[in-house]
Chains A and B, each alone.
Chain A
Amino acid sequence: MVLDYGLGNLRSVTRGLERAGATVRIVDDPEAIQSADGVILPGVGAFGDGMENAGPFREALLEAAAAGQPILGICLGMQMLLTTSEEADRAGQGDVTGLDLVPGRNVKFRGDLKIPHMGWNELDVKRSHPVIEGIDGGYAYFVHSYYGVPEDTDSILVTSEYGVEFPAVIANEAGNVIGTQFHPEKSGEIGLRLLKNFVAFAADA
């Protein structure tokens, strides 16, 4: 199930999941979440807008996470799993609170770097999880200006490097809520592998 909260190109992620063997439903009804084997929180755009648009899904997502349903947040969808973002502070939107499923903060890349971090970067697996099997050392497609920093470093499954080593895949403590900073649906074979892993993980959960 892919949540449609008004942002992003859902076509590629839908096709990617279908290729991974999933039956995909695009939903804009929070109540539909409960019946899904797995939930995809896609995302493109700004943190404040994302949280605002995802507002109606908030309670249903928190319940699904607590019940152990697999959830995959992509790009902004990953950032929304954390608690806060510098992006909303900078945009003058005050304290826009994320889902807080993985406690932490989203910060902007600093230093003499081109922003956004856009393109293919290498993945370095730090911890094992069924969803990231077979992706170590592969390249994935990133496009973002902010990155998530979980409070607990055990939440970081995969990192990449752009001026600084930053989290590329994170998970909550229970392991059912996963976020990828890169776009698996745009990352060729490596990305399809991750989607396939997620579909299998969701089917088993």
Chain B
Amino acid sequence: MTLTKRIIPCIDVDVDEDGNAAVYTGVQFEDLEYTGDPVEMAKEYNEAGADEFTFLDITASAEGRETMLDVVEQVADEVFIPLTVGGGIRTVEDIKETLRAGADKVSINTGAIERPELITEGATAFGNQCILLSVDARRRFDEAGEHYVQIDGESAWFEATIHGGRTGTDLDVLEWVREAEERGAGEMFINSIDKDGTKDGYDLPLMEAVSDAVSTPVIASSGCGHPRHMLEVFEAGADAALAASIFHFDEYTIQETKEYLDDHGVPVRL
């Protein structure tokens, strides 16, 4: 009897030309492909045994945001597992609206980098458990970092980026997650710009370094192409593994993934 590792399907939600919410799946934060209706997908994943859901709002407009909150409400009414919503959250008011719509946690990236106090304010107002720090990490092989790991014989550090990896910040991810933890972030949601959409596995050196740096739970994201990759990232110290395309395109079901993990000694909720 022990705490199980969590398997989390993630959907990127945008607004289509008719103004309806739709799920898209991307490769390295670009080349989006239409995947389905968010509420229907959430229901299916709930029935398939997902441990949580994550919705990322990839619309940028205020109109898109309203649509998104509407989708969150519809999902929260149907599905009785934890729901995380991220994308575009900049203020305590944004956090409040998202939680009120039925999200259990919000994931904050750019908003926290621009103003780290947002983490403190959100954690104080709503509790640490609902504030996830989302990090889009990128490997850098220069000398500007603070904490280095060895990757294929080279010394690398991880930089926190914003705007889907297009803008660097020179902020060292390991420093950033420690600061966020002190400020009250209850969980770390770690994406990898280098691995996103590659399907050749999570960024294991990154996930291991972050898991060692903080004592809050770590959700690994980006790069999953096979249940084996989840096994690897759990061995590296992650507490939850997020995946999109392997589930969306029915390459593996959640049940198959969990059975594979169970066969390899990983505690999962079957």
Interface residues of A (CB under 8 A from B): 9, 11-12, 15-16, 44-46, 114-122, 124, 139, 141-145, 160-162, 183, 185-188, 191-192
Contacts and interface: CB of A to CB of B under 8 A. Distances in A.
Contacts of B80: 12, 15-16, 185-188, 191-192
A117 B186 CA distance: 10
Nearest to B214: A114
Interface of B: 1-6, 46, 51, 73, 76-77, 80-82, 99-104, 126-130, 186-187, 215-217, 239-240, 269
A141 B81 contact: yes
B213 to A, nearest CB: 12
A115 B215 contact: yes
Closest 3 A/B residue pairs (Cβ): A45-B127, A11-B102, A139-B269
B2 A12 contact: no
A53 B134 CA distance: 30
B39 to A, nearest CB: 14
Nearest to B127: A45
A118 B269 contact: no
Nearest to B82: A186
> Is the contact region of chain B dominated by helix, strand, or loop, or is it mixed?
loop
A11, A115, A191 interface centre (most CB from chain B within 10 Å): A11
Given A114-B217, A118-B187, A46 B127 contact: yes
Contacts of B104: 9, 12, 186
Nearest to A162: B3
A120 B239 CA distance: 11
A115 B129 CA distance: 10
A114 B215 contact: yes
A160 B269 CA distance: 14
A124 to B, nearest CB: 6
Contacts of B240: 119
B4 A44 contact: no
Contacts of B81: 141, 186-188
A139 B4 contact: yes
B129 A161 contact: no
27 contacts: A9-B100, A9-B103, A12-B104, A15-B77, A45-B126, A46-B127, A117-B3, A118-B129, A118-B186, A118-B217, A119-B3, A119-B4, A119-B51, A119-B217, A120-B3, A120-B4, A120-B51, A121-B1, A121-B4, A122-B2, A139-B4, A143-B129, A144-B129, A145-B128, A160-B1, A162-B2, A162-B3
B150 to A, nearest CB: 25
B76 A11 contact: yes
Contacts of A122: 1-2, 4
Contacts of B100: 9, 11
A120 B6 contact: yes
B51 to A, nearest CB: 6
A14 to B, nearest CB: 9
Contacts of B76: 9, 11-12, 15
Given A11-B77, A188-B81, A161 B269 contact: no
Contacts of A143: 82, 129, 186
Given A9-B99, A11-B102, A186-B81, A116 B46 contact: no
A10 to B, nearest CB: 9
Given A116-B129, A120-B3, A192-B80, 18 more contacts: A9-B99, A11-B73, A11-B100, A11-B101, A12-B104, A46-B127, A114-B216, A116-B128, A118-B217, A119-B3, A119-B217, A120-B269, A121-B4, A122-B4, A141-B81, A143-B186, A188-B81, A191-B80
Nearest to B51: A120
B269 A116 contact: no
Contacts of B187: 118
B53 to A, nearest CB: 11
Contact of B186 (A116, A160, A162, A183): A116
Nearest to B211: A114
A124 B51 contact: no
Nearest to A137: B1
